[in-house]
Structure 1
């Protein structure tokens, strides 16, 4: 849990808080030192972070305003706070210290990181996403990227208050969820796709079962009946891999009311489209795309990895997906994330496309597009 005195990157094997306090006090007495209450708390937290957490980076990960921690070198630590990158006054010691921290964090996520495997992409036990690169692949030294997973889903009201959602889009979004439209949430990395999707899923009826399929456990909707399937990488022997496509197939056997894929990034898009074309409506997924109009090209590229031709993709996608919700960053500083467009998916003579139903300006002003009538009428 972020911000708690007992937080850290591991849950198994972490001693109870009082046990760690006792150890610190014992070591201090052995050195002839007496720690006051404030010094004791600070020392215990440093020890916990050094052994079980991210060391000097742990306070940054526990800052509720921080979403990303980026390490370019021992004294080059950056954080994204409230949507903006800023330098953090953190000293990680030497290049060797940064490497040792990266190796320890990768191990905590069950990944190998060494000269033979110089990159690691792992999910840490508390949900934090880790990406690490060692030299010489990383030219200037060990690189670390940590993305913090939000402890709770933001509500739609909070997204409206923050400017992510224009007030006029809320009834349209609620209607899409309640009539079980199949949704694609698109946008660039860090644009807020998972945050928006989690908020929308909180509107799903509490008598429905949601099966969430992810590579990393980022999606945590405020809903009482959510089950999660997690992809697994192959071990060092190349065995044990379970990919997203297999998990989508398994989800169909779990009596889902709604199937949610955290991110379409490969051939699993074929299984998702198949599922949404076989009676499993109300499904959702996210996908990286520059604009709503670019989503068809992105889906076609991913489906090609599964051996699908363009005509087959057009037939499947136009029947599988109802609407695209596209997010962007606003302003010159690109600090705020906002829902910029709600588009409707339609079949065309050339294949399929996404037609704008609602366009939203960074100011929150909303304009109806050519697809507005179809958006409010629903399919057919």
Structure 2
């Protein structure tokens, strides 16, 4: 197996993150030993193994090669099998792409050859945030005081929120901080493909989807979990990431009295959100005009986050979904800077 190494010190850009120790288990499983030095580094957010080509480490300013880390393709494949097994699943030629969450919230995605023709690929997301708070994110430069106050108004007013952004932009970080502002007596039910939301709230219930087994049975998807969550009397219903037909279930729930809800969606810009929602709604049987009416009625505020080249994260824009003159979904941008 790859050997344990010590990371070298270097200049690093400061990403937005809440202070506090990483929430990893005190006694780490031996399978994770090859990554121990990086998991012990409080700045590491992602690890990428590209077969025998080596390891790349992201400390918030982009992935950089870890030249001291060495492993053969056979060792990387064995490591992938062990990590996926540690997460309670199985990876082989019949199931060559598998995603698991390990104890402490570490997320592992593995792909075997020939799907990955250059060798076994591992993508490991390391949870570094404790319970993020709006004040901490504001102090770190993600937004100013006026925006912070506007976000608090939205939570206090039980506005249904959608946080958009690219991968790694800070959607989950911001959503967790927003939900932490909810009153302590409220029951928050979060639904995620892989449970990542860490919320500083006393009444937070987490539901996690389950992938089908090798026979193709036993799967529990996000759409079903939305329906199950509605039976749990949530005060706030949250879908960690809308990526499929669960968007129909979420919009339906938010349109039937379940205010204060939230979700995230992948989008490159604030005004790209309508097209993204249309793409998600189509497989769920929502045509563009039906989705526009549902989304404009259900969602009160869209907040878009971006990650800069230096690793910094910021709110780049916000707006309200509307139905345009052609009956399609659009975003009416809010000018928070004028507040």
Normalising by structure 1, what TM-score? 0.80
- The Cα RMSD (Å) is 1.8
| Gap change, CA 1:73 and 1:195, over 3 Å in 2 | same
1:8 match:
28
1:76 and 2:96 correspond = no
* Count of residue correspondences: 318
In structure 2, the residue corresponding to 1:227 is in which secondary structure? strand
Answer with 1 or 2: which has the greater Rg: 1
Q: 326, 334, 339: which is aligned to 2:315?
A: 339
In structure 1, the residue corresponding to 2:181 is in which secondary structure? coil
Residue 55 of structure 1, CA deviation: 2.3
Q: Distance in 2 between the 1:309 and 1:164 partners?
A: 35
Q: 279, 285, 290: which is aligned to 1:312?
A: 290
Residue by residue over 1:304-334, the C-alpha shift from the partner in whole angstroms, topping out at 9 and shown as x without a partner, is 111111121111111000110001122xx34
Residue 75 of structure 1, CA deviation: 5.8
1:355 and 2:332 correspond = yes
Q: Distance in 2 between the 1:246 and 1:323 partners?
A: 25
Q: Which moved more, 1:204-213 or 1:151-160?
A: 151-160
1:66 match:
44
1:165 and 2:185 correspond = no
Q: Which runs of 5+ in 2 are unaligned?
A: 1-20
Q: 263, 277, 281: which is aligned to 1:285?
A: 263
Residue 179 of structure 1, CA deviation: 0.3
1:235 and 2:213 correspond = yes
Q: 216, 227, 232: which is aligned to 2:194?
A: 216
Q: Distance in 1 between the 2:86 and 2:57 partners?
A: 22
Residue by residue over 1:198-232, the C-alpha shift from the partner in whole angstroms, topping out at 9 and shown as x without a partner, is 01111100010000101111001100000011111
Which consecutive segments of 4 or more residues in structure 1 shift more than 6 A?
A: none
| Gap change, CA 1:3 and 1:241, over 3 Å in 2 | closer
1:293, 1:353 within 8 Å by CA — same for their partners in 2? yes
1:34 match:
none
1:251 and 2:237 correspond = no
1:155, 1:199 within 8 Å by CA — same for their partners in 2? yes
Residue by residue over 1:108-129, the C-alpha shift from the partner in whole angstroms, topping out at 9 and shown as x without a partner, is 1122211222221121232111
Q: Distance in 2 between the 1:6 and 1:251 partners?
A: 32
In structure 2, the residue corresponding to 1:78 is in which secondary structure? strand
2:188, 2:204 within 8 Å by CA — same for their partners in 1? yes
Q: Distance in 1 between the 2:23 and 2:209 partners?
A: 28
Higher relative contact order (CA 8 A, sep 6+): 2
Q: 78, 95, 99: which is aligned to 2:73?
A: 95
Q: Distance in 1 between the 2:140 and 2:209 partners?
A: 32
| Gap change, CA 1:214 and 1:3, over 3 Å in 2 | closer
Residue 3 of structure 1, CA deviation: 7.4
2:23, 2:130 within 8 Å by CA — same for their partners in 1? no
Q: Distance in 2 between the 1:235 and 1:301 partners?
A: 27
Residue 91 of structure 1, CA deviation: 2.5
Q: Distance in 2 between the 1:295 and 1:232 partners?
A: 27
In structure 1, the residue corresponding to 2:128 is in which secondary structure? coil
1:362 match:
none
Q: Distance in 2 between the 1:358 and 1:111 partners?
A: 47
Residue by residue over 1:188-207, the C-alpha shift from the partner in whole angstroms, topping out at 9 and shown as x without a partner, is 00000000000111110001
Normalising by structure 2, what TM-score? 0.89
Q: Distance in 2 between the 1:77 and 1:84 partners?
A: 13
- 1:118-133 equivalence runs, <5 A: 118-133=96-111
1:135 match:
113
Q: Which runs of 5+ in 1 are unaligned?
A: 10-50, 360-365, 373-380
2:23, 2:127 within 8 Å by CA — same for their partners in 1? no
In structure 2, the residue corresponding to 1:54 is in which secondary structure? helix
